[in-house]
Amino acid sequence: HVFTVVYTTEILIKVVARGFVWSEFTFLRDPWNCLDFFIIIVMYITTFHSVGNVSILRTFRVLRTLKAISVIPGLKVIVNSLVESVKKLLDVLILTVFCLSVFALIGLQLFVGNLQAKCVLNVTQFNDSLCKDPKIYLPGD
């Protein structure tokens, strides 16, 4: 409960100094402060809520370690650069999925029906073949 009081005091000081939501540099305009606010709300719910199943919310206690990110400036820079690099990698992922989809469609059109009713014998384990009547597919067969 000590950490909850310390974090709440920190948030209250920031809210009094900057404001809560409405102007440009207020408390909830900073994503790190939003994370801190969410952590505090979850801490209060799991601590004082006695009705129902709040054990799911207790898993969010792991987010308390993220509080250290907003306190240590060097770690904050590293995490911000990781988030920015993930955004760039998302563009690469979308391009890769698009290219793989195009090649998959080309492969479907090229090999449509050619491999039907052809089985390949699993050479490593002779008893485990892919069909009841195993045949080795040879391209001219």
Give the residue, 97 or 136, on which the prediction is more confident. Answer: 97
Distances from the Cα of 126 to the Cα of 84, 116, 120, 134, 139, angstroms: 51, 22, 11, 10, 22
Per-residue model confidence (pLDDT) at position 100: 97
How many separate domains does the chain show? 1
Per-residue model confidence (pLDDT) at position 102: 96
* Residue 61 belongs to some domain of the structure: yes
* Residue 118 belongs to some domain of the structure: no
Q: Which domain holds residue 16?
A: 1-71
* Residue 88 belongs to some domain of the structure: no
How far is C-alpha 106 from the chain's CA centre? 31
Nearest to 81 by CA among 68, 71, 69, 94: 69
- Give per-residue pLDDT as tens, 78-123: 888 998 999 889 989 999 999 999 999 998 888 887 766 666 555 5
Q: Enter the pTM of the model.
A: 0.48
Q: Are 108 and 102 in contact (CB under 8 A)?
A: no
* Residue 65 belongs to some domain of the structure: yes
Q: How does residue 134 score in pLDDT terms, banded at 50, 70 and 90? A: low
* Residue 100 belongs to some domain of the structure: no
* Burial class for 39, CB neighbours closer than 10 Å (0-12, 13-18, 19+): buried
Per-residue model confidence (pLDDT) at position 117: 62
* Residue 57 belongs to some domain of the structure: yes
* Residue 76 belongs to some domain of the structure: no
- Give per-residue pLDDT as tens, 41-55: 888 877 776 656 666
* Residue 58 belongs to some domain of the structure: yes
